[in-house]
Amino acid sequence: MTDFTDQIVRNFHFLRPELLWGLVPVFILTMFLFRKTSSEDKWKKDIPDHLARYLVVKGKENSKLPRILMIVILLIAVFGVSGPAWKEIDRGEVKSKSSLIIAIDLSRSMLATDLQPNRLDRAKKKIIDLLNEKPGMPVALVGFAGSAHTILHFTSDYNTIKYLLEYVSPKVMPLKGTSIKSLFELTDSLFKPMETPGAILILTDDLPAEDFNLVKQVSENSKDKIEFLLTATPGGSPIPISNNAFLKDDKGRTVTTSLNTNAIPNFAKLTNVNINLITLDDSDIKMILSNIKENLEFENKENEKNIEWEDYGYWFIIPAALLLLFWSRKGWAVYWIILICLIPYYGCSNNESGTSENKFEFVDLWLTKDQQGQNLFDNASYMKAADKFESPYWKGVSYYKAKQFQTAAQIFYRIKSPEGYFNLGMCMAELENWSEAIFAFQEALKLNPKLERAEYNITEIKKLIPKKKKIELVTPQSLEDKMFGKSEELDQESEKQGDKEETGGEQSQEQSGPVQQNSDQLTFPDGSEQQQQTDDQKDILFKQMSDDPAVFLTRKFAMQYRKNIKKIERPKNKW
């Protein structure tokens, strides 16, 4: 027996053995097909041979082959989707009980160009080199400047860390400067649930003497190893803020930052602290990894390894495809419909809800619900799109576009984000609930003060409220009662709104003046022809959340900073 055959015999198993239950319906189908054939042929044996030649019409000799072929194809399909496997994937790594935090300095001084192309890019390159070495432990990515924030929590998916590294820069940080204190407070909270010592790799461009006592205190009171990788040169470099300009201090002098080599020996003497200078090759990374793994605990037991197996199910596609070629023969496709009926059994997840939104359809094999909804949305089938979308945001937008403002408002109310409140305000404005609309826009501004369109809409709404009428006081509780406790009022308002759109009343036309002048910012239903003609050109809603990770990180860090602004100590320098 060869080594390959022996490997198959010893290690063969199915990754998804529960799908082998598919053999049951295949067996039942086989019994039905061939038992029926036997019962049909049984009476023929009772006819004398000299009469049978005249009374029995013989079919083709291969009449059973299509049935056999279909059964074989179904068997191949069942075994294929069950995931046959026998070869272990060698990851070449050992799973660690400890964890690693990579902290990258995102202050403006990291844009200095004494290291080409700049210090920050060189630091990112070193992080990628470290991850390519497969450290074999969960890694968290942290960014720090005047405040510290978690970019990605502990994960073994190093590719995600590499992806996010492309989008981090000083622009995503809410507070300028460099605060090692904020960094250690964050790393301490990340390591708190851990039972074993971890390691912190800090990539920064300086070791200020005033931080010595802080680093000493942390190193002495913690078992975690601290590795510094200094990404700067003693000669230093000014900090560019544009192509031909550099950062200046309050006195108008160009700011030049350099590596404080005098402080390095003092920091290097601290317990559990290692200082590493950046090199042109990967020797610095190998040294850091060696230091990190020196005292950390690893799981070396064979039964605790993270074993993965290669799925060979895709190889079953080839014989199945070759056998399917026979279906082109005349008379062989009679049972094709049975195969199609069995496809959902293998291709869909178990769903017993029976609702129109969740029940399985053939297109679900190829497109997600959100993708199906997007196709309907692009074709202006907004109600159908709303039924398909699983994303609450897109479901709300679809109802809004379908002029179901009440339903859209109830959905946006549940999305506690600047965009959610902004779109809630738009729905309330469409229903002419001016006070609630203003409240929603104000809530959006609290979460995102840079949301200029919300400020503009508040101004425009106030112009439309009669001078004698005061703006009602709206609270979160009263708004919730308005949304869900008194839905009949909203129903009536929605019906009135529809009547206005159909009749184009005088009152709406009177209100349309100031709105049409800036209709790209805020739109109210007025039934006018101009409004209808330009409706598709108006930017009514945020049509989608930004898919740029840098935008997401900027908003996330800004919210965290505002939440803890009283606890954060501002650094002395601004770079």
At 115, the pLDDT band (50, 70, 90 cuts) reads very high
User: Which pLDDT score is estimated for 464?
Assistant: 75
CB 403 within 8 A of CB 501: yes
CB 150 within 8 A of CB 553: no
Q: Tell me the CATH class for 100-240+258-303.
A: alpha beta
CB 89 within 8 A of CB 15: no
Q: Is the pLDDT of residue 306 over 90?
A: no
DSSP state of 45: G
Q: Is the pLDDT of residue 272 over 70?
A: yes
- 353-381 pLDDT, tens per residue? 444 445 556 666 667 888 888 888 888 89
At 532, the pLDDT band (50, 70, 90 cuts) reads very low
User: Which pLDDT score is estimated for 2?
Assistant: 65
User: Which pLDDT score is estimated for 161?
Assistant: 93
Domain range list for the chain? 3-88+313-341, 100-240+258-303, 391-537
Give the C-alpha separation, 545 to 60, whole Å. 63
CB 432 within 8 A of CB 498: no
Once rounded to an integer, what is the mean pLDDT over residues 191-204?
Answer: 88
> Which whole-number Å values give the CA distances from 415 to 49, 111, 337, 373, 494, in the listed order?
81, 37, 45, 19, 21
User: Which pLDDT score is estimated for 548?
Assistant: 74
Amino acid 147 reads: S
Q: Is 307 helix (H, G, I), strand (E, B) or coil?
A: coil
**Domain 100-240+258-303 shares a fold with domain 391-537:** no
Query: Between residues 523 and 440, which one has the greater pLDDT?
Result: 440
Amino acid 179 reads: S
Extract long-range pairs of 471-479: CB within 8 Å, 24+ residues apart.
Answer: 471/434, 471/435, 471/438, 472/435, 473/435, 474/435, 474/436, 474/438, 474/439, 479/413, 479/436, 479/439, 479/440
Give the C-alpha separation, 247 to 575, whole Å. 9
Give the C-alpha separation, 375 to 52, whole Å. 62
> Which whole-number Å values give the CA distances from 401 to 59, 430, 431, 538, in the listed order?
61, 11, 14, 12
Helix, strand, coil in percent for the chain, rounding step 5: 55, 10, 35
Once rounded to an integer, what is the mean pLDDT over residues 390-413?
Answer: 88
Once rounded to an integer, what is the mean pLDDT over residues 159-173?
Answer: 93
Tokens linked to 341: 């009926």
Closest CA to 342 of 129, 38, 78, 57: 78
Q: Tell me the CATH class for 391-537.
A: mainly alpha
- 422-456 pLDDT, tens per residue? 998 898 888 888 888 888 888 889 888 888 888 88
- 144-156 pLDDT, tens per residue? 999 999 999 998 8
Closest CA to 522 of 568, 566, 461: 461
Assessment of whether the complete model's pTM goes beyond 0.85 = no
